[in-house]
Structure 1
Amino acid sequence: MAGLSKDTPNPTEIKLHRKSRLLEISFGDGKTFRIPCEFLRVYSPSAEVRGHSPGQEVLQVGKKDVNINHIEPVGNYAIQLTFSDGHNTGLYSWDLLYDYGVHQDKMWQRYLDRMEEAGASRDPVMGSRALGRQPGSR
């Protein structure tokens, strides 16, 4: 994991609002971001979501009601989030969280556009069958 940018302020407070499903992060420069759990889940920095190289990103569907069950500090540079759907492999560095806070409106719109293009839904999928590509489709 690359080191932190010397320009990124450290968080001064991290609060989970379970009812509204928001992670509130206050940074040393006075900025506070309220980032939805769904946003953090669909933009997880894990290889499972991002893929192993550009263009391999996996669109996360049905995550509208996801929440964070646990927050684990990782050294002095990141947190690991455990989501209510069991996902827990992404490390959220202070740099990443700050960047997400600054760009979340644009990133969220890009996610909604990708969902629409794929004909997918943010609503949880009932049963065990997840939305996905049909065999033989591209």
Structure 2
Amino acid sequence: MDRVQPVEIEKREDGSIRVAWSDGHEGIYPAPYLREHCHCAACIEEWTGRKMIRPGMIPPDIRPLRISAVGQYAIHIEWSDGHSTGIYAFDLLRRICPCPTCASERVSQL
């Protein structure tokens, strides 16, 4: 079975990132939401997996400055707050899609 892959990734004027997926789904990721879900070593404690980012640490007006591909599996985002060590794997992006359909599916799986 083929994995669902992004077919288009777009930085939008409002600072959000739009991802169009190969199965026709589309997700709009607000910048603060995406920044909060960074899984780099500076944002997630290596040994415990505890989030190091706390509410209020991410500026509400944060924006992606640059988005670049990392091979065929992820994107790298440079943020306006100076953070640039996060890599967002495509499977993570799909798993955390904030659209109402995906959010309700996550709740129903609890």
Q: Normalising by structure 1, what TM-score?
A: 0.65
> Is the aligned partner of 1:12 residue 2:7?
yes
Partner of 1:58: 52
Query: Identical aligned pairs, as a percentage?
Result: 28
Identify if the C-alpha distance between structure 1 residues 33 and 87 changes in structure 2 by more than 3 Å, giving closer, same or farther.
Answer: same
1-structure distance, mates of 2:103, 2:39: 15
What root-mean-square deviation, in Å, do the aligned CA atoms of Structure 1 and Structure 2 show? 2.3
Tell me the secondary structure at the aligned position of residue 96 of structure 1. helix
Q: Deviations over 1:103-137 (max 9, x none)?
A: 49x7xxxxxxxxxxxxxxxxxxxxxxxxxxxxxxx
Cα contact 1:80–1:91 (8 A) shared by 2: yes
Q: Does 1:68 align with 2:64?
A: yes
Q: Which runs of 5+ in 2 are unaligned?
A: none
Matches within 5 A, 1:53-132: 53-54=47-48, 56-60=50-54, 61-101=57-97, 102-103=102-103
Q: Which has the larger radius of gyration?
A: 1
C-alpha distance 74-55 of structure 1, shift in aligned 2 (>3 A):
closer
How far apart are the structure 2 equivalents of 1:73 and 1:55?
25
Secondary structure in 1 aligned to 2:43?
helix
> Larger helix proportion, structure 1 or 2?
1
Task: Give the count of matched residue pairs.
Answer: 101
Which amino acid is 2:84 matched to? N
TM-score by length of structure 2 reads 0.80
Paired residues of 1:42 and 1:63 also in contact (CA < 8 A): no
After the TM superposition, which parts of structure 1 deviate over 4 Å for at least 4 consecutive aligned residues? none
* Equivalent-residue separation in structure 1 for 2:7 and 2:25 (angstroms): 10
SS at match of 2:42: helix
